[in-house]
Amino acid sequence: MLYEKERQEVVETCQFMVKENLVVGTAGNVSVRIGDHVVISPSGVDYDTMVAEDVVVYDMDGNHVEGKLKPSSELPLHIAVYESTDAQAVTHNHAYASTALGLVVDEIPPSHYYSGMLGGIIRVAPYAEFGTDQLAINVAKALEGRSGALMKNHGAITLGPNLKKAVNLLPILEYTCEIQLRAMATGAPISLLSQEQIDSAVVGMSTYGKQPGRDED
């Protein structure tokens, strides 16, 4: 079986999203890029029972390479992200706060310094039907210079150099959206950070949690 290790990582990432309440049912999808191949979660398979063999492999032109099941309907979206960025992994979810906030804003202003972990002001890609080329185009544009974005009337997406780093951004994005929603609900003015403050926070976070003698991913 091609890419057995990576296919197992896709399974474990999908199961992590369920555990963290980042998806409902089988919504959302996960992929890893390996050269000209995309290892992606299958369509409509229960994450709790998913196994590595269920995960499928396609090339960057959308042609089937290996696997018996149908790929996620968002395969065009994943390919578009890989073509327009240097990402090696993509995670997409339908969590509550990020989905709700995407209904009412076109971008998330810098109300929390966590936005710096995603590249700055978080954009909301205009709505397009799931699985379409237009959605892929909209999301790729929203991700320019960013490692995360929202999708209007849909959900959220994050990317990274590997699956662990990509999926670990999903809870951060969800937290940022939850904070913004709660602040908006008060009706009071929302305090925003300057670009200089965001940039300074990014520098500080770059060494946070790194301890001498411990391996880093």
DSSP the chain: -TTHHHHHHHHHHHHHHHHTT--STT--EEEEEETTEEEEPBTT--TTT--GGGSEEEETTS-EEE-SSPBPTTHHHHHHHHHHS--SEEEEE--HHHHHHTTT-SEE-SSSGGGGGGTSSEEEEPP--TT-HHHHHHHHHHTTT-SEEEETTTEEEEEESSHHHHHHHHHHHHHHHHHHHHHHHH-SPPP---HHHHHHHHHHHTTTT--TTS---
Residue 105 and residue 100: Cα distance in Å, rounded? 9
Residue 74 among the catalytic residues: yes
Choosing from 9, 74, 178, 196, the catalytic residue is 74
From 122, 124, 110, 123, select the one nearest 200 (Cα to Cα): 110
| Contact criterion met (CB below 8 Å) for 71 and 61 | no
Annotated catalytic residues are 74
